[in-house]
């Protein structure tokens, strides 16, 4: 036994810090094939946005074979899931994080054709074989899945469209599915204004027609999800940023009345 190994790790497993560095490098690497912007963006976003590492540390992606990523951008989550499977297969997964995620199917839905093109150029060779659909989430078909991830996307569409999409998400998840939804808390005026400002600049640069403006307070988000039959937990998710982002973890119980497709 290696006396330097921290308590709780297994043979070959890495310390969390080294493991995250490896995952970050591994998940960014495929984007070199999609050009300098795609690669720098992947490195920057995976490295600076606290949500990706946090989802792994907290085990939120564990045990979910079929993943649906709505508003997936250039598909960073698909690349990260692939990197997780490889790290686990090589005995490089930190024991402190529990079992590694083992996604078997990934579908990403994204409105912007340029993001989809970058995702496909970068990730077409992955064993996970991610599928990217260029479509508006308000109309796109949602495949049956075990995990739906929606990170910083819902404020692009109005309140009625948010509610309609979440009802379809609930139906696609079935019993015991999980929703990971990151939103800005509109009740935190300063943090929400900061993210609104950044989003407006980014969406203008990226050629979006509609700026993302439709926020809700955290209480309203929770009520909306509970009304659809989710059990909801909330986790602050803007560490190291000026934003008011919160991750809502929705566990699907028995389908709620009226929560159909
Ligand atoms: C802030 S980005 C987040 C990207 C990704 N979820 C992540 O965390 O890296 C929001 C994404 O939602 C996409 N989006 C906005 N409205 C959409 C819609 N109606 N249908 C599908 N995607 C949409 C945007 O094009 C953009 O890629």
CA of 111 to the centre of ligand 1 (A): 7
Token pair 């659809």: residue: 228
Q: Whose CA is nearest to atom 24 of ligand 1?
A: 71
- Cβ(31)–Cβ(118) below 8 Å: yes
Query: For residue 27, what pLDDT band results from cuts at 50, 70 and 90?
Result: very high
Residues 154-169 have pLDDT tens digits of 999 999 999 999 999 9
How far is residue 27 from each of residues 109, 119, 181, 186, measured CA to CA in Å?
19, 12, 21, 32
CA of 258 to the centre of ligand 1 (A): 27
Q: Which helix (H) or strand (E) holds 113?
A: helix 113-123
- Distance, CA of 240 to CA of 6 (rounded, Å): 27
- Distance, CA of 118 to CA of 28 (rounded, Å): 13
Contacts (Cβ under 8 Å, ≥6 apart) of 88: 100, 102
Residues 225-244 have pLDDT tens digits of 999 999 999 998 776 776 78
């Amino acid at each position: 036994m290696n006396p330097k190994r921290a308590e709780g790790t297994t043979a070959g497993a890495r310390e969390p810090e080294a493991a995250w560095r490896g995952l970050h490098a591994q998940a960014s690497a495929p984007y070199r094939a999609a050009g300098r912007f795609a690669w720098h963006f992947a490195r920057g976003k995976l490295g600076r946005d606290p949500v990706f590492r946090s989802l792994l540390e907290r085990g939120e992606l564990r045990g979910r074979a079929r993943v649906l990523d709505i508003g997936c951008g250039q598909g960073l989550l698909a690349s990260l899931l692939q990197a997780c499977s490889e790290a686990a297969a090589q005995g490089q997964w930190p024991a402190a994080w529990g079992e590694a995620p083992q996604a078997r199917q990934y579908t990403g839905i994204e409105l912007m054709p340029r993001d989809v093109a970058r995702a496909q150029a970068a990730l077409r060779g992955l064993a996970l074989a991610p599928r990217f659909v260029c479509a508006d989430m308000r109309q796109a078909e949602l495949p049956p899945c075990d995990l739906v991830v929606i990170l910083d996307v819902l404020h692009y569409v109005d309140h009625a469209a948010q509610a309609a999409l979440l009802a379809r998400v609930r139906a696609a998840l079935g019993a015991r599915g999980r929703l990971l939804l990151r939103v800005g808390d509109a009740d935190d005026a300063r943090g929400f204004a900061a993210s609104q400002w950044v989003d407006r600049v980014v969406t203008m640069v990226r050629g979006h027609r509609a700026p993302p403006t439709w926020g809700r307070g955290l209480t309203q988000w929770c009520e909306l999800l509970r009304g659809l039959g989710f059990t909801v937990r909330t986790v602050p998710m803007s560490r190291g940023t000026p934003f008011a982002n919160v991750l809502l973890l929705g566990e699907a119980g028995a389908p709620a009345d009226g929560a159909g497709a």
